[in-house]
Amino acid sequence: EAQVTQNPRYLITVTGKKLTVTCSQNMNHEYMSWYRQDPGLGLRQIYYSMNVEVTDKGDVPEGYKVSRKEKRNFPLILESPSPNQTSLYFCASSLNPLDGYTFGSGTRLTVV
Amino acid sequence: AQTVTQSQPEMSVQEAETVTLSCTYDTSESDYYLFWYKQPPSRQMILVIRQEAYKQQNATENRFSVNFQKAAKSFSLKISDSQLGDAAMYFCAYEDTGNQFYFGTGTSLTVIP
């Protein structure tokens, strides 16, 4: 089944403890992207990648890192999480962003 | 950054009736892409419909259609013959030619049986 897989689905962590949210797609898509969703703010793009080793900042990249060492994987790294990064995170991929993205099921992150 | 505005936080529609969700955006570009995404309670984001700015013809996907007014920077979604499964949060999104996406704040649609 063609899909974008994020792990974990739920995560509670403490301030300052490094964490990684994994994202993998099995559709051979070139484009991948990370978003955060907050009440009243909609979704905001954190980082996106147009190909292996090519990444660019979205609207809200501060406090996040990404890497794209292989086409299928696009992990989101929080080196020192803070409570304001508590949010619902989505990974998405696309063969051509002009056709829209396929989204993962989301990761609910709580930083205490 | 571009802005996308959805002025209706909540809407409701009677089953089998038609409802229109509004979206406006701000841009100085002439080439861009617009989308409507649906997010049911399962929180999965599902693409509903897309529109290319250079195409004058409004996009249609089964019961879903858009009214794209480029000069007014308006992109409304019409849902015909509403069904209970249409109940969800709907997000309007704008994509620029650099592949950056901007989403609106969403409209929560309730379908009344």
Contact B50 A100 (CB under 8 A): yes
pLDDT-based confidence at residue B96 (cuts at 50, 70, 90) = confident
Shortest distance between the Cα of B64 and any Cα of chain A, in A, equals 16
For the segment B1-17, what is each residue's pLDDT rounded down to a tens digit? 679 999 999 999 999 99
| In the predicted structure, residue B107 carries a pLDDT above the cut 90 | yes
Q: Tell whether A61 is within 8 A of chain B (Cβ).
A: no
Which amino acid is present at A50?
Answer: M
Shortest Cα distance, chain B CAs vs residue A91, angstroms: 10
Interchain CB distance below 8 Å, A98 and B95: yes
Say if the Cβ atoms of A45 and B4 lie within 8 Å.
no
**B4, B5, B34, B43: which to substitute to probe chain A, counting the most A Cβ within 10 Å?**
B43
Q: What is the DSSP letter of B59?
A: P
Interface A-B, measured as beta-carbon pairs within 8 A, has a size of 60
Q: Measure the CA–CA gap between A15 and A87, rounded to whole angstroms.
A: 14
The residues, ordered by sequence, that sit 6+ positions from A62 with a Cβ below 8 Å of its Cβ are: none
Q: Which two tokens stand for residue B107?
A: 């409209």
How far is B48 from chain A, CA to nearest CA, in Å? 10
Q: How far apart are CA A4 and CA A106, in angstroms?
A: 10
Q: Pairing mode, if any, of strands B10-14 and B107-112?
A: parallel
Residue A88 pLDDT exceeds 90? yes
- State residue B108's pLDDT score: 97
Checking if the pLDDT of A96 tops 90, the result is: no
Across chain A, mean pLDDT equals: 95
d(CA A52, CA A30): 8
Residue B110 predicted with pLDDT over 80:
yes
Which pair of structure tokens corresponds to residue A41? 């703010």
Give the per-residue pLDDT at B55. Answer: 87
pLDDT at B62: 95
| Share of residues in chain A with pLDDT > 70 (%) | 100
Residue-level pLDDT at B1: 62
Contact B91 A42 (CB under 8 A): yes
Query: Which residues of A fall within a CB distance of 8 Å from B102?
Result: 45, 59
Q: Quick check: B91 and A59 CB within 8 A?
A: no
Residue B43 has phi, psi (to 5 degrees) of 70, 0
d(CA A101, CA B85): 21
Amino acid (1-letter code) at residue B40: P
Residue A8: pLDDT above 70?
yes
Which chain A residues touch B44 with a CB distance below 8 Å?
Answer: 103, 105-106
pLDDT computed for residue A98 by the predictor: 79
- Widest CA span of chain A, in angstroms? 38
Facing A43 at nearest CB: one of B44, B91, B95 = B91
Across chain B, mean pLDDT equals 94
Q: Evaluate if residue A97 carries a pLDDT over 90.
A: no
Residue A35 Cα distances to A89, A90, B14, angstroms: 6, 5, 33
Cβ contacts of residue A105 below 8 Å, gap of 6+? Answer: A5, A6, A9, B42, B43, B44
Report, as an integer, the average pLDDT of B59-78. 96
* Res. A13 pLDDT band, cuts 50 70 90: very high
Lowest mean pLDDT among A6-20, A72-86, B43-57: B43-57
CA atoms of A38 and B72, how far apart (whole Å):
28
Does A43 contact chain B (CB < 8 Å)? yes
Beta-bridge mates of residue B107: B90
Query: Is A45 in contact with B100 (Cβ distance < 8 A)?
Result: yes
pLDDT grade, residue B102 (50/70/90)?
Answer: very high
